[in-house]
Each structure stands twice: as C-alpha cells, then as structure tokens.
Amino acid sequence: MNGIEHAVLATEAAEVQDALSGARRLYFGHEFCQKLLPTLPALAHVADVCRARQVGLTLVTPPITQPGLAPVEELLAWLEAQNASYEVVVNDWGVLHLLARRHPRLEPVLGRLMSKQHRDPRIVRLSTGDAAPTAVDGRLVLDVALPEAAAAFYRATPLSAPRTQNVLRAFGVRRVELDNPLHGFDYRPVGNGVASLYVPFGVVATSRRCTSDPRRVSDPFTDRVSRCERGCRHIAYELRAEHIAEPLYRRGNTLFFRNDALPNDTDLRRCGVDRVVHQPGLPM
C-alpha cells in the first residue's frame, strides 16, 4: 500500500511499547466506554514514549455523558498545553463542540461511531443474492442479488453528503474514521478531506449496556452490571448464527465483525484513505 500511513490502536499504556513496532502513529484511548478512558498519568507516559520513538499520537475518546466531560476536559487541556501536534478522535458531537470551542490547537478527527456506515454483516449476502429464502404474503421468495443502485446505497456513508461536509468543515474536521464492511464501502471526501480505515475489526453495534464479568455472574449477557470492574478486559465471545456467514465477536458493550481483506490501492485512494489503523485484538 504505497503512500499509506500505518497506525496502531492501543487501549492500555502497558501495550504501547510492543504495539508500536513498525507503526508511524499510535492511537491511544477508548472508543466505546467512558469508564475506560486513560488517566492523565497514563496519557502523559504514552506521549513521552511517542515523543522518544518519533511517532505521532492520536487520543481516542468514546461517546461521553455529562459526568464524563470533566475527565475528557482534563486530558484535552493537558494535550493542548504540550508543545506538540496531537489529534483527537471524537465519537460524540458534544466533545467535537468542546474541541472547537476550547481547544482549537488540537486537530479533531471524526470517529467511526459517527460515520453512520452500513455495517450489518448480513448485507454482503444480500449483495450476492446468497441470503436465505423469505416468506412474503404466504409465498416463498428466493433472494436475488441487490440492484447496483441498492448495493451502492449500502456502501455509501452520509459523510459524503455536501451538507455534512459543510458541518465538518465548520468544526475543522478534515479526517474521518471508517470501518471496512464486508460488502465494501464508498466515501467521497471534498477538498483536502482524508480518511482512516480500521482493520481487521469493524463495529456492528455498541450500547451503554455491558456484558457482566463471567467470573462473577452465571449469565453475563442478561445479568445487569451493578458497578464496573472492567470485566470486559478479561473475556470476549465468538457468536455464530445460521443467517450470518461470518462469526461476530462480543466484548464489553460492543459487537464486532472481522474483515481481513483490504481494498486495492486504487479504491483506497478514490475514498481518500491515506491511513490504516491496525487493531492487534478486539479493541476494549
């Protein structure tokens, strides 16, 4: 992949030294849960490591509730006070507004939870006409491949819309983060817009409800979490269903798919992708 910057995602400071092998940029933080945000000492340590290794640093932040704003603000204020250039991935409109209003020296990056891509792994079977037969009004209808216009709709993202591009420019957003759905994707940046592509794991769905720690409850999928003990750091689940060709993966509050097949260089350039973000494991 000529001209593509290679980045790696780490969610814990202890992972950083090993993760950086061969990477030119480190993504550090968490996309899905504010309870897993790094502490300020951890961020400062990681920034020192990146500086010593001459590697760029991108702080990753999740959707944030009102109680979570203070810890995020502390991290952002510290980054802006440093004599360096940092990116911040935002997965929350409030955090994006906070960056634009209070921290203009930090470069905002629109996170993949805000890209609104169609990621359902079942779409790839619709695209090929390989889905299961469906009963409609008492009749059995054999699935056929989607018309190209419909398949193109599922590959597209609302980020390509001119009005959305105007909003992103107003907030100073040049880079957006994308998943690599099994049925493909299509993003058309405007002007100097660029994109990052996450591999090999993509997000199917996430929520505020987390699986319980299986070491403490009998049914981690239905028992409610009374307090966070970071049980998601210890276990992940592989899920299979007859109507989905590929397995899904559940960790914490998020469901993932896996896609190891990268688009070719021509398609990456057409979509403005100049960076690939590698996830060594399920990002939790």
Of the two residues 250 and 89, the one the predictor is more confident about is 89
Beta strand extents in the chain (DSSP E only): 5-10, 25-29, 56-60, 87-90, 107-110, 134-136, 139-141, 175-178, 194-199, 201-206, 237-241, 244-251, 254-258, 273-278
Whole-number pLDDT of residue 234: 74
Q: Indicate if the pLDDT at residue 272 is higher than 60.
A: yes
Domain ranges of the chain: 5-278
Q: Round to the nearest angstrom and report the end-to-end CA distance of the chain.
A: 27
Are the C-beta atoms of residues 206 and 92 closer than 8 Å to each other? no
Q: Determine the average pLDDT of the residues in 96-106.
A: 95
Contacts of 19 (CB under 8 A, 6+ apart): 8, 9, 10, 26, 280
pLDDT at 188: 87
pLDDT digits (tens, 9 = 90+) for 120-143: 988 887 766 665 556 566 665 556
pLDDT score, position 221: 60
Task: Compute the mean pLDDT over every residue in the chain, rounded to the nearest whole number.
Answer: 88
Question: Which of 178, 179, 196, 200 has the alpha carbon at shortest distance from 259?
Answer: 200
Give the pLDDT confidence score for residue 190 in this predicted structure: 79
pLDDT tens by residue, 7-52? 999 999 888 888 888 899 999 999 999 999 999 999 999 999 999 9
Provide the pLDDT confidence category of residue 70 given band limits of 50, 70 and 90. Answer: very high
The rounded percent of the chain whose pLDDT value lies above 90 is: 61
Confidence of residue 3 (pLDDT cuts 50, 70, 90): confident
Name the pLDDT band for 61 (thresholds 50, 70, 90).
very high
